[in-house]
Amino acid sequence: MRKEDKNSIIEQIAATVKEYGHFYLVDVTAMNATATSALRRDCFKSDIKLMVVKNTLLHKALESLEEDFSPLYGSLKGTTAVMFCNTANVPAKLIKDKAKDGIPGLKAAYAEESFYVGADQLDALVAIKSKNEVIADIVALLQSPAKNVISALQSGGNTLHGVLKTLGERPE
């Protein structure tokens, strides 16, 4: 491969890392063509960009960025596929669903501005809540007391209305 082509690929990988907020390094060494094709389809359905890269080119692309990705460099061995996504836990859920005997296996991940190295981090990555999930939880917490007050007022209003109606209908 010519040096110009390599530089072009390095720039493309670096641009993709900047574009997406989260990425996972996945070991796809033992996957056959059918399994790889199925993984690509599932990634597409889940809005995950899957890219198989040479480790040296990925290493150079990560080095060219401002942020320090050095904790991930040790994971760049064997066949590496990179899953890019804007929601931190989606690739982890896909890997957990698809993994049979550790294939595809998680090597490392960069999610929510943190590094996760090793396959044992998969459960922690699945448990990460997305920004929208956190916002939904906060809104639900804020709505709960208001709903309780409104419910109490409505039930109390009906009771009070019933008492007044009964007193009004009572013969004197």
Q: Tell me: the pLDDT tens digits for 117-164?
A: 888 878 888 877 777 777 888 888 887 777 766 776 666 656 666 666
Residues 122, 133 within the same domain: no
Residue 34's alpha-carbon distances to 30, 44, 93, in angstroms, are 12, 15, 20
Q: What is the largest CA-CA distance in the chain?
A: 105
* Stronger pLDDT, 163 or 24, i.e. the higher one: 24
Residues 90, 119 within the same domain: yes
Residues 76, 109 within the same domain: yes
Residue 28's alpha-carbon distances to 67, 89, 108, 113, 153, in angstroms, are 26, 19, 13, 24, 59
Residues 64, 137 within the same domain: no
- pLDDT the model gives residue 156: 60
Residues 79, 89 within the same domain: yes
Range of the domain at 12: 1-127
Q: Tell me: the pLDDT tens digits for 56-92?
A: 998 999 888 888 888 888 888 888 889 999 888 888 8
Residues 116, 134 within the same domain: no
Residues 38, 112 within the same domain: yes
Residues 106, 161 within the same domain: no
DSSP string, 26-43: EE-TT--HHHHHHHHHHH
Residues 140, 114 within the same domain: no
- Average pLDDT along the chain: 82
Residues 61, 17 within the same domain: yes
* Main-chain phi, psi angles of 56, to 5 degrees: -65, -40
Residues 85, 163 within the same domain: no
- pLDDT of 101 above 60: no
